[in-house]
């Protein structure tokens, strides 16, 4: 009996090489001259234990730099989604922000 493909089976394979998306970099925000008397938002992006970490940061500021006002806020969704309302609130009411991730 004759095999039409000479005993060789054909298989299909997918190429695992991906293509990274084009990233448009944004410049970093300018640094503040100092933190004395400033309002700093501590932004919880809902990453693993980031809220716990930021509460520790807030406690540190209270103990070591009491003139700095801190406000702990949570993003409205998870860290993978933009939160324009939170960013606008910080721009309108704060002098700076720390966006925390924890582990």
What average pLDDT values come out for the chain (103 residues) when binned by 10 residues?
A: 66 86 89 96 91 95 98 88 93 94 63
Distance CA 67, CA 43 (A): 19
How far are the Cα atoms of 40, 55, 91 from residue 33, in angstroms, in the given order?
Answer: 13, 24, 17
Predicted structure pTM score? 0.72
Asked whether residue 89 is domain-assigned, the answer is yes
Asked whether residue 60 is domain-assigned, the answer is yes
Asked whether residue 86 is domain-assigned, the answer is yes
- Number of domains into which the chain is organized: 1
Measured in residues, the chain has a length of 103
Domain that holds residue 70: 39-99
Asked whether residue 73 is domain-assigned, the answer is yes
């Amino acid at each position: 009996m004759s095999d039409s493909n000479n005993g060789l089976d054909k298989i299909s394979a997918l190429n695992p090489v991906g293509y990274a998306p084009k990233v448009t970099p944004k410049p970093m925000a300018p640094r503040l001259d100092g933190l004395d008397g400033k309002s700093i938002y501590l932004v919880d992006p809902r990453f693993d234990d980031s809220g716990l970490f930021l509460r520790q940061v807030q406690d540190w500021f209270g103990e070591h730099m009491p003139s700095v006002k801190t406000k702990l806020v949570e993003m409205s969704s998870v860290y993978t989604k933009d939160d324009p309302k939170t960013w606008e609130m910080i721009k309108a009411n704060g002098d700076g922000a720390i966006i925390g991730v924890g582990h």
